[in-house]
Amino acid sequence: MTDLLAIGTRKGLWLARSDDDRRTWTLGGPHLLAQEVAAVAVDTRGPTPRVLAGIQYGHWGPTVMWSDDLGASWQETETGAIRFPEDTGAALARVWQLRPDGADRPGVVWAGCEPHSLWRSTDGGGSFELVRGLWDHPHRPTWEPGGGGGAVHTVLPDPATDRVTVAMSTGGVYVSEDGGSGWTPRNTGITAPFLPEPPPEYGQCVHKVAVDAAGPDRMYAQNHFGVFRTDDAGRSWTSIAGGLPADFGFPVVASPVTPGTAWVVPLVADMERVPPGGRLRVHRTRDAGATWTELGAGLPDGCWAAVVRDGACADGADPTGLYLGTRDGCVYASRDEGDTFTQVAAHLPDVLVVRAARI
Amino acid sequence: MGVEVVLPGVLADLAGGSRHLQVEAGGGTLGELLDAVAAAHPALGRRIRDEAGALRRFVNVYVDGDDVRFGGGTAARVPDGAVVQVLPSVAGG
């Protein structure tokens, strides 16, 4: 039994492995050196695990690459896995999210990209088709780019139905109940303090959304100010930020196995965007956001580095493993749902994404 | 006579291992020349231009020593016998 932790950074990808149930880790890499790796997925549905990477070749543009031998070799589609159709007049700027669908849909991989767009692959990530239903949505011309660019950065396919949830900065949360043809904004209750009152139907700057283990209708959202929960698939959201030292942050992570359990990494904001007091901490809820507990055993003080929106993840093991990567190139792993952390890596380039899987 | 395309070393693998390509496309525009390059070497083509046909922001192209950004972009004329050089710009960190 091996646990794999993929670490995408501004200048390459590292792969850490643990063969002792996540007690110790061996770091390997760099892979794809000098390429920005803003999106990673570990697809465990096939006979061998596939590591997918959304990369930016520095001067030479973005694409999707993959490895079926844990980084020993990498492939890419000659003509590019993601290419905007000619009639759109658009060009791919960055791959922000790669998300394999459920086991019952082998080969289906979703990609969220900049400019705001959603893509679907049926060949494991070798080629993607633009999801026209979202691209042609009448709201799209008014979705504004956030500081990092205008992108679909979160893609949550429900493996049991045709529901797909996306989140965008800015734009907010949109949901399709028919596999991607029709899309409805679902932001009621999510604030937008950077816009005049009242909060709009859409246009929120939702940084990340995670689905609770209890079922697809319950989700958590870390917003650009505010942490929220929905129990009705996004039709209404309620603040669950009470008890947190700050309601700003980028990631929110939900346990895949323990209902009601989720984590956030609060940052002082708006201008500072650093851990409160320079203490890197996660906050965990076990009751779907009613209460939060600060956790920091093994995490550093004197840390002024943020964890970006995909810089935190959970694995699928039980108890859930939790992983953090910081913009100062450190990676921390917990095998006990955040109670204690060990350092996996230090001095890497800025960590943009971490993804863990048991292979 | 054709056109000689000179590539940076980092792109040579995408052109069969050579930094020098001889392309039979002289007399047209830079865009037409790059179409011919992309037809023969698709992965090389999309390092230089995006799928909308624009030169990538940090890629500079010179026709006989002149930067095409100041001379018509992809509509720049490429005379037969020209040397077209592709260079990464000063960028990054």
CA distance A173 to A185: 6
- Phi first, then psi: give them for residue A91, nearest 5 degrees: -135, 140
CB contacts under 8 A, A 183-242 vs B, are none
Does residue B93 carry a pLDDT above 90? no
Per the CB < 8 Å rule, is A92 touching B50? yes
Per-domain residue ranges of chain B: 3-88
Per the CB < 8 Å rule, is B46 touching A63? yes
Q: Which pLDDT does position B25 carry in this prediction?
A: 78
pLDDT, tens digit (0-9, with 9 covering 90-100), for A281-336: 999 999 999 999 999 999 999 999 999 999 999 999 999 999 999 999 999 999 99
Q: Which pLDDT does position A350 carry in this prediction?
A: 98
Per the CB < 8 Å rule, is B92 touching A58? yes
| E strand segments, chain B | 3-6, 20-23, 59-63, 66-67, 83-88
Share of chain B above pLDDT 90, in %: 89
Chain mean pLDDT for chain A = 97
Q: Which pLDDT does position A146 carry in this prediction?
A: 83
Q: Mutation target for B interface from A11, A55, A59: give the one with most B CBs within 10 A.
A: A59
Work out the minimum CA distance from B87 to partner chain A, whole angstroms: 10
The topology (CATH level 3) of B3-88 is Ubiquitin-like (UB roll) (3.10.20)
A179 pLDDT tier (thresholds 50, 70, 90): very high
Which residue of chain A has the CA closest to B58?
A: A59
Work out the minimum CA distance from A299 to partner chain B, whole angstroms: 28
The CATH number of the domain holding residue A265 is 2.130.10.10
Per the CB < 8 Å rule, is B50 touching A61? yes
Host domain of residue A189: 3-358
For residue A34, CA distances in Å to A31, A58, A59, A348 come to 9, 7, 10, 12
Task: Specify the higher pLDDT residue, A197 or A217.
Answer: A217
When divided into structural domains, chain A yields a total of 1
Q: What's the complex ipTM? A: 0.90
pLDDT, mean of residues A145-159: 93
Share of chain A above pLDDT 70, in %: 100
Considering only CB atoms, A84 lies closest to which of B51, B59, B91, namely B51
| Inter-residue contact A49 to A67 (CB < 8 Å) | no
pLDDT, tens digit (0-9, with 9 covering 90-100), for A208-256: 999 999 999 999 999 999 999 999 999 999 999 999 999 999 999 999 9
CB contacts under 8 A, A 36-75 vs B, are 57-61, 63
DSSP state for residue B32 in the 8-state scheme: H
Cβ–Cβ pairs < 8 A, chains A and B: 45
Question: Does any CB of chain B come closer than 8 Å to the CB of residue A90?
Answer: yes
pLDDT, tens digit (0-9, with 9 covering 90-100), for A18-54: 999 999 999 999 999 999 999 999 999 999 999 999 9
In terms of Cβ atoms closer than 10 Å to its own Cβ (0-12, 13-18, 19+), residue A84 is: buried
Does residue B91 carry a pLDDT above 80? no
